[in-house]
Structure 1
Amino acid sequence: MIIMDRLYNEAVKKGPICVGLDTTLKFLPKYLLDKDWSDGEKITEFNKKIIDATEDLAAAYKVQIACYESLGLDGMKAYSETVKYARSKGIVVIGDVKRGDISSTGDQYAKGHFTGDFEVDIMTVNAYMGEDAVSPYYQYIKENNKGIFILQRTSNPSAVDLQNLEVGADTIYEIMGDKIEAWGSAFRGENGFSAIGSVVGLTRPDEFEAIRARCPHTFFLVPGYGAQGGTGEDIANILKKSRCAVVNSSRGLITGHQKAGCEDEGFAEHIRKATLAMQEDILKWL
């Protein structure tokens, strides 16, 4: 079973929820901030409590490495401990690292995130340098059951500046989708999806629906839910046709305790409630 089959099966069983652990100190409850620990230790404890509270709801966890890199070695230790802890639960972990380089540099990125202290199951990749930025990961997809999500149509407003430019009859993001389908053709699993997936935002659901129809073998990581405006109904209209995606929410979930005014050790229960509400908001439309 390839990694994308695992993710697909979890998304069908639990619901298509990806909990984003894009954790910074401003999200921590006061009781943790007041502890005589390093910043990395505080973030690790916060993340572990969230994982414990949501492991039965999350099809995957996405960990944004920039939040940890900014704290130096202490932060990178927190990143390592977070991904190891989530993977120990048997849940798919996505390293949101957006690497995008070629040749020997790409080889080192693949080794750095698919083995060792920072090992994840799937990593995000920027392939706007072409297949040379993707091929370093093929070995790990084949031999280590890893996967990648390639940026295709992102959720940020200025994505239209480049991704929506037309080349002949197609937009650049449509051409990228065709490439992702082609690159992934050798890595398809039992559910028909490739271990090479795509990142497509939920902020333009009409575009997403057209992408899904054009890329039938691509599994999607979908940002843009909640804080960026995407709704459960938006994604459900796509999932009714194909259970082809997991939907990420980061600050919309991990600030659940702040919205409830909770600053004590019970914070994780509020994050669980926010995750349940997201699950319900999507599944009620299916």
Structure 2
Amino acid sequence: MIIDKLYDSVKDKGFVCVGLDTSLDYIPENIKNKSSNVADIVFEFNKQIIDCTNDITGIFKVQIAYYEAMGLEGLKAYSKTLKYLKEKNALSIGDVKRGDIAATAKEYAKAHFSGDFEVDFITLNPYMGYDSITPYFDYFKSGEKGAFVLLRTSNPGAKDIEYLEYKNEPLYYEIGENIYKMADEFIGECGYSSLGFVVGGTYSEEATEIRERFKKSFFLIPGYGAQGGKAEDIRLYLDDFNGGVVNSSRGIITAYKKHEDGENKFQEYTRQAVENMRNDIYGKK
């Protein structure tokens, strides 16, 4: 099952999820100068990041909004990036946060689990109801695909809806418990389900309970670094440094900008950012 591949990838290469949230503003001038074609420029930037971090990165997350914003050329770069990840035997998350229902959801599943935009996992938003999740189940049953459903996100606005009181506790627990029951159908040999959760790493006071409640859920954990998630908080969501992947995007892909010689050593500083993140969360100095 795909979740077993992810578990093994984290075991072998670590829990870091590199977020390829690529904007043209992030790309070194010496890469931009190689071409006038947006798709080629963006892909070359992503390719270099993948090449220098793949052996220490459990999975890569590609946020589709950045590519949609660049139009058709951006979507070409998105597709080329996903295909390159597959060539490199690297796992991918399409961060698309789809949330529609019925026939529309089936088309989203087809779009992101096959063809030009095929990925291993996608992100889903459950707030239109559970029929926004179930149309993807055939892909999960095949064992080849998985998803991370928004549970408790890292943004401040999460408290506007996710924290509304329901049965004397936050609403996200009610939603999580129901999806957790559905996820039981897709348990891999590793003990985790291919239907996991997005859990922001910025609220340490809830981390222990979330990990305890959803023992068989694999987590996609955003919020580390710039959003305020600290290493000691992140560790609470992991199980012996597995059972979750920790995303960092700008903290890694723009790390070179902090150095005077950054453009000339772009790959070196990118890799160093991943290593620093790993060491920080592992608790190594």
- Length-normalised TM-score, structure 1: 0.95
Query: In 1, are the aligned partners of 2:207 and 2:236 still within 8 Å (CA)?
Result: no
Residue type of the alignment partner of 1:95: G
Residue type of the alignment partner of 1:137: Y
Question: In structure 1, what is the equivalent of residue 17 of structure 2?
Answer: 18
Question: In structure 1, what is the equivalent of residue 271 of structure 2?
Answer: 272
Question: In structure 1, what is the equivalent of residue 41 of structure 2?
Answer: 42
Instruction: Indicate the larger mover: 7-16 or 85-94.
Output: 7-16
Shift of 1:243: 2.5
Identity of aligned residues (%): 48
SS at match of 1:195: strand
Question: In structure 2, what is the equivalent of residue 54 of structure 1?
Answer: 53
Shift of 1:12: 2.1
Residue type of the alignment partner of 2:123: T
Question: In structure 1, what is the equivalent of residue 63 of structure 2?
Answer: 64
Query: In 2, are the aligned partners of 1:177 and 1:211 still within 8 Å (CA)?
Result: no
**How many residues are paired up?**
284
Question: In structure 2, what is the equivalent of residue 195 of structure 1?
Answer: 194
Residue type of the alignment partner of 1:53: C
Q: C-alpha distance in 2, partners of 1:53/1:130?
A: 40
Q: Provide Cα deviations, 1:206-244, integer angstroms capped at 9, x if missing partner.
A: 212211111111100000001111122212233256732
SS at match of 1:203: coil
Query: In 2, are the aligned partners of 1:15 and 1:283 still within 8 Å (CA)?
Result: no
Question: In structure 2, what is the equivalent of residue 226 of structure 1?
Answer: 225
SS at match of 2:189: coil
Is 1:250 matched with 2:249? yes
SS at match of 2:30: helix
Q: C-alpha distance in 1, partners of 2:260/2:5?
A: 36
Query: In 2, are the aligned partners of 1:124 and 1:148 still within 8 Å (CA)?
Result: yes
Q: Provide Cα deviations, 1:11-34, integer angstroms capped at 9, x if missing partner.
A: 122221000000001110111223
CA 88–160 in structure 1, closer or farther in 2 if over 3 Å, else same: same
Query: In 1, are the aligned partners of 2:207 and 2:233 still within 8 Å (CA)?
Result: no
- Length-normalised TM-score, structure 2: 0.96
Shift of 1:180: 2.0
Q: Provide Cα deviations, 1:222-279, integer angstroms capped at 9, x if missing partner.
A: 0000111112221223325673210000001001111113453531111000011001
Q: C-alpha distance in 2, partners of 1:262/1:156?
A: 33
Question: In structure 1, what is the equivalent of residue 205 of structure 2?
Answer: 206
Q: C-alpha distance in 1, partners of 2:254/2:4?
A: 30
Show structure 1 runs of 5+ residues with no match.
none
SS at match of 1:120: coil
Is 1:171 matched with 2:200? no
Is 1:132 matched with 2:131? yes
Shift of 1:48: 0.1
SS at match of 2:46: helix
Name the Cα RMSD after superposition. 1.4
Show structure 2 runs of 5+ residues with no match.
none
Query: In 1, are the aligned partners of 2:62 and 2:95 still within 8 Å (CA)?
Result: yes
Instruction: Indicate the larger mover: 164-173 or 50-59.
Output: 164-173
Q: C-alpha distance in 1, partners of 2:240/2:47?
A: 35
Q: C-alpha distance in 2, partners of 1:262/1:251?
A: 18
Query: In 2, are the aligned partners of 1:65 and 1:97 still within 8 Å (CA)?
Result: yes
Question: In structure 2, what is the equivalent of residue 259 of structure 1?
Answer: 258
Query: In 2, are the aligned partners of 1:180 and 1:198 still within 8 Å (CA)?
Result: no
Q: C-alpha distance in 2, partners of 1:115/1:165?
A: 37
Q: C-alpha distance in 2, partners of 1:241/1:32?
A: 39
Query: In 2, are the aligned partners of 1:19 and 1:249 still within 8 Å (CA)?
Result: yes
SS at match of 1:197: strand
- Map residues 52-201 of structure 1 onto 2, 5 A cutoff: 52-143=51-142, 145-201=144-200
Q: C-alpha distance in 2, partners of 1:64/1:270?
A: 22
